Structure 1
């Protein structure tokens, strides 16, 4: 509830005005039966045509006003719902931007998509229905029962009884619905996950001939969701039947009791018409409110799921103090006794790291798979925080720097090259939003991405999501060019040359050396040929530094490096 109030608070006036319009619309609707009763009791019984015309004009005017009020109320409700939905999605997106990889794992990508799209949509629907169908109910019930009592006391108590019966029925159904909708949203999450895996992994599925298996898995997800949805629909059907039965029984009782009261001279014929319309209107609003109340548990579950994301405390936070970064410091990045352990791990992934990335030098990291090479890059970028020791950038502890300021000074090419849908120029401008065409062409030339010039549309060539319309080597070169668009103090290449042939790899590294001469370069690689010319090579094994130096010295002093080099070179040094 606090989450809903948080998003409603900026629109307090709109909420109050919308509610006022809905209540006035209800009040206008309740006047119609009273006018109808007067027309029958006075105009028809006395044959007063002038009275009937006056009342008819009054009824028409009230009908037009209430119709306009209903239209205005619907518009205001929809506007309020749209504003709340927009604010919720923005809040969820902003919250997700502060999440680390571990934070995302707590929710799951599929669940985050469901919460941002489906859950918010259900909350929006709940807001509209609640304003239009639930909030007017107290006004309808109170005013309708008061008018019924003003006609006849017995009829007033009869309406109270019918109202209480339908309300108790709604409470019973709502409790049962809450459990069902909780499962329904969980099944929807599962459907999203399986669908996403099938869509992104379709080539793997085909390669291993697992179509039938995935079809069964998808069918199971659909069946689980359908089973819960059917149960929910049964509740709707049962509630609707019970509510219609209540309305009809109430009308029958009004006619039966009212007929006796008319015979006794306590009521007039027109009063029966008014009471019937009061009953229908009251019970209609209660039934509509019941339908909404069945959806309310689902909406509240969605609110709790949204609230869980918004209240989640990110693993990585900006520091309370801001240290000054020395822009001209020779030591761009430095690890001092740094160590890291994942929160759910028993052992440290990295431990006791001590090395420096200096301006104008290339530092390379090599090691076996799982030795922690990519984790070092993530520590510098604060995708994770060290659990011991410190990482410095320009002499300042990176935990004391705003994350935006830290990452402004670093250009990063991830291990998995990722391109965004749009054009090649759009992707390059991620590194520099103000980049000119000449600057983009220069970055492409350094990255050995001359293939762009051969494309019919050049820089304006379309890129599909993830860059699936380019080969692995092309995606890597475009990712490198994007990083080079940024004038950074530190360039990190996380295994970014793995899809390149040796000739392109050598040409790219040669061009990079001149382009990044005023910055520090950190290269994470599997191939010795990629890093052998680096001024400093760090050898990792099981998260520890087992060797540090240049290529020649490590071949003499580091057994792990010797083994890696021998396995790749068959005992001979490679030539560029």
Structure 2
């Protein structure tokens, strides 16, 4: 939990200590009030016995004034503690949320897949909120309840041993009640958080694939899947709520029964001359404080385990280390090669998998060359190019960039060399200009416009707002082809050393595809390009074409060479083009 404790700044700790000091003063005031109430009862009794209450009126007013002062102090400290603790905890949890977000950004795909996206969302939101509420309760009740209970017990033991038995029996009943709740409820909290992950997963999955769901009339199927998980969440919550629902009436019953027993037994003791009414009044007040203290402790015992579960889940994220770590760094001035990419006997399998996705891949790309990858679905094309920006690390062999192993680079330096365009165009909410400048924050207007023109994003200039046109979340107000072109423009604006296209032309029509390739060829001379594609037309002019099948290289060469030397390539080509078009 040390990671979470570091989220508290010196100011936060100061506010927490001030809160604890004020709570100490509040406890003192609460524990002193019964004594003055007893004194007032004693004054009234003495005045009644003397037959003239006015003789003790000044003492009654004095004690009453002191009680009002204590009540005002309790009211003031409660407000101050609430303000100070709220500030400290909210500030610390905001930092924790920021740290989790930053940590997730540093994760490789291995860690993201390990936790799952819905779980990471839950940990960043629901778990932190749950922990925030728990910490607030701990600070406000964690000190006051135990101290109040312990001191009140000491005081009643000094007042009357007989009446203490009643309070002791009440405390035992409360402890048994809390234990029952602790045993049955606490194990359910971890289950609730896990089920919340599942709810987020299904909700996200359904909303992301809503078009497919509707197209196949699968609404009922999705609703049934959600209902099954939702029913499990409800079932668990109902179980917890039913047990928790017994606590409040049970405690109210114990408090009422204790008050009745104290009055009944107190009457006998007063009649026997063992105590007086003043002691009974003070004793009753302290007994109620003891019971209230145990009620607060029981609330803590319900909330704290849930908060601990949330804290553990957050801490799991914060203490996880990315499997992709920075290298020592590469001095660009000492590089003997520039613009080259080389795979040396590279094999790769996903973490936890038994089978290799790539097997013994070796090739070299020279500066300014365009190398394309083609193969059937699942042949390992995208996996291969994902090893260059280190989304994953090779299981065996070396991936070299500019003559150095990618593991030698600092990740940020490596990524600065690369313009990466994923198959599914990813846009962020904001203007088109914001999205293009995501690739280069200080890009000029001319650079943005040039990147848009090269990427054939002419539709931008046709809009009244131009580059200030607002993109909706996920880019839902532009087409798939437009998203791909804007993603390409984002990569082009940074003028990278390498361009990686992961099937980034798939949503383009043939005319736009051809125009884009022609523009890229004339405007990106000297830039090394890796292209994953399914269309022969997209890659036939590449300097090299690498053919993959079941993770193995089965062919390398130019278009014409592969038609005669690689049956897999020829089969793909004939499935798309007529013989005379080859």
- Tell me the TM-score normalized by structure 2: 0.94
Output one character per residue of 1:266-299: Cα deviation in whole Å (capped at 9) or x when no partner.
4332322222221222211321221231122222
Match of 1:312 among 307, 317, 320: 320
Give 1:387 deviation, angstroms: 0.9
Q: Which residue of 1 aligns with 2:171?
A: 163
Q: Which residue of 2 aligns with 1:420?
A: 428
SS at match of 2:340: strand
Give 1:322 deviation, angstroms: 2.7
Q: Structure 2: which 5+ runs fail to align?
A: 48-52
Match of 1:349 among 354, 357, 372: 357
Match of 2:577 among 540, 564, 569: 569
SS at match of 1:377: helix
- Check if 1:246 corresponds to 2:247: no
Matched residues in 2 for 1:347 and 1:384: separation? 16
Matched residues in 1 for 2:489 and 2:339: separation? 25
SS at match of 1:554: helix
SS at match of 1:205: helix
Matched residues in 2 for 1:4 and 1:378: separation? 33
Q: Which residue of 2 aligns with 1:523?
A: 531
- Which has the larger displacement, 263-272 or 183-192? 263-272
Q: Which residue of 1 aligns with 2:235?
A: 227
SS at match of 1:329: coil
Preserved contact between residue 324 and residue 390 of structure 2 (Cα < 8 Å): yes
SS at match of 2:443: coil
Matched residues in 2 for 1:45 and 1:408: separation? 88
Preserved contact between residue 41 and residue 268 of structure 1 (Cα < 8 Å): no
- Check if 1:26 corresponds to 2:32: no
> Within 5 Å, which residues of 2 pair with 1:32-47?
32-43=33-44, 45-46=46-47, 47=53
- Check if 1:448 corresponds to 2:467: no
**Does the C-alpha gap of structure 1 residues 164 and 23 become closer, same or farther in structure 2, counting only changes over 3 Å?**
farther
Preserved contact between residue 146 and residue 297 of structure 2 (Cα < 8 Å): no
- Check if 1:502 corresponds to 2:510: yes
Q: Which residue of 1 aligns with 2:289?
A: 281
Preserved contact between residue 3 and residue 303 of structure 1 (Cα < 8 Å): no
SS at match of 1:432: coil
Output one character per residue of 1:28-47: Cα deviation in whole Å (capped at 9) or x when no partner.
12222211110110255232
Output one character per residue of 1:497-547: Cα deviation in whole Å (capped at 9) or x when no partner.
111122211211111123221321111111111112211221222212222
Matched residues in 2 for 1:504 and 1:318: separation? 39
Output one character per residue of 1:343-383: Cα deviation in whole Å (capped at 9) or x when no partner.
33332211222222222221111122111111111100111
Match of 1:187 among 195, 211, 219: 195
- Which has the larger displacement, 231-240 or 7-16? 7-16
Give 1:21 deviation, angstroms: 1.5
**Does the C-alpha gap of structure 1 residues 6 and 266 become closer, same or farther in structure 2, counting only changes over 3 Å?**
farther
Give 1:82 deviation, angstroms: 0.9
Q: Which residue of 1 aligns with 2:479?
A: 471
Matched residues in 1 for 2:173 and 2:25: separation? 26
- Check if 1:435 corresponds to 2:443: yes
Preserved contact between residue 348 and residue 543 of structure 1 (Cα < 8 Å): yes
Matched residues in 1 for 2:139 and 2:146: separation? 12
Matched residues in 2 for 1:134 and 1:236: separation? 19
Matched residues in 1 for 2:96 and 2:347: separation? 38
Q: Which residue of 2 aligns with 1:116?
A: 124
| Runs ≥4 residues deviating over 6 A | none
The count of aligned residue pairs is 573
